[in-house]
Amino acid sequence: MRAPRFLIAAAHKSSGKTVVSTGIAAALTSRGVRLAAFKKGPDYIDPMWLGAAIAGPCYNLDFNTQAPDEIVDFFASRISGAEATLVEANKGLYDGVSMDGSDANAALAKLLGLPVVLVIDTVGMTRGIAPLLQGYRAFDPAVNIVGVILNKVGGPRHERKLREAVETYTDLKVVGAVHRNPALEIGERHLGLTTPAETGGLEALIARLGGIVGASVDLDLLLDLASQAPDLPDPPPRAKLPEPEVTIAYARDRAFGFYYPDDLEAFAEAGARLVPFDAMRDPALPDCDGLFIGGGFPEMFVADLDANAALRADIRARIEAGLPTYAECGGLMYLSRAIVAETGVGDMVGVVPAEAVMHPTPEGKGLIRFTERADHPWPGGSGDIRAHEFHYARLRGIEGTPTYGRQITRGHGVDGSHDGIVTHNALAGFCHLRNTRADPWVHRFVTFVRARRAATTKPRQIAPAGLSNSRGSRS
């Protein structure tokens, strides 16, 4: 399968990769290029920006939760029909958790045959860019670094010196030079960039990023370099979707939006229909057989969530009546008694008997592993399950002795040893799961929802032979 593609990477984090990547994606899309987009790692926010730029899903590629051959098959299956593919790295090109580099961006580039374009933060740098690029080329010659985008350039004179250094001492192509410009700034907070859902005038902002970056980058050269990528094997065929048998409501609004597109797709593959609701505006849940509340920034919308008392009461009553529910991170906070944050204190759903208190530094950050305990409500989990966590919240004042569904083997979770509080048919924890071959959690949850629906649905009464089911009917 012929697939022009490239990796946007950097020497270190906060080099401006996401702004540049979003601008390139928007510029190519405005030119009519059908672009597929991916983000390396478990991040939720950067893919939202790339997805907004291409008006489609941006998928994650993650060595922590996906095996290498699984990444190859998944990648190939999601680029079908695309004319070019952009992959954004996380952190620096050679950074990762493992010291051998097996989970680094460079490893992903080699695995998928991605030509690499480095975005270099050039603040305070001129001739010094040359040894930096030489070192990156020499560190692993198997990584195909083909070009560089000069970022945060100070002006024409600064750009001229940088270009001269690159052209004199390396054989890399200068793909573009993006000058410092306040119009390229995206707001940040404790978890990184703000999300597109919170950004006023999103379409105008995306168009502005595309216009500035598109005028600063040689898009034709970039696509030409992307065409150096070798052919990929054809992806395995995707199964036909079954008819939906159950309906699952999920929170989708400014407060809750941390969902992997392929996880949402997996619900349909498992026979479930997803119906979104707004936790700040809707007075009640839609008619549903199960409930899913993902992560997000509920601490930024405490007053709005508190004000919607009708929905909170409905959710509490539904969960206490046995509604199968899964909530992670921000969802766990929403199901607690209250959220305590700098933005205020507000009452929440109250089925988790504790307060979610925000702290100035992360309580849990990075890769997490756990085994499932006997009280975990969904059947089928086995072995050490890999996920990730990134939360500044801690549960305070937990009443009684909670029932936990997870035993932490790496990471923090709720208390350093446990995660996944089980109450009624609800599971709520700080772990962010990914539906993969090793942990098909979506299919397991849908199976649980289907089983609970079957157990609580009254069987239809069938009249004995010769008798009618209708009162007063005549033969």
Catalytic residues: 329
Cβ atoms 136, 145 nearer than 8 A: yes
Instruction: For residue 368, give the amino acid letter.
Output: I
Distance (Å, whole) CA 204 – CA 92: 30
- Residue 72 — φ and ψ, nearest 5°? -60, -50
Cα torsion through 219, 221, 222, 224, rounded to 10: 120
Distance (Å, whole) CA 234 – CA 229: 15
Q: Which of 156, 172, 178, 174 is nearest to 23 (CA)?
A: 178
Distance (Å, whole) CA 290 – CA 144: 47
Cβ atoms 256, 330 nearer than 8 A: yes
- Residue 167 — φ and ψ, nearest 5°? -70, -30
- Exposure class string for 188-204: b at 16+ Cβ within 10 A, else e: eeebbbbbbbbbeeeee
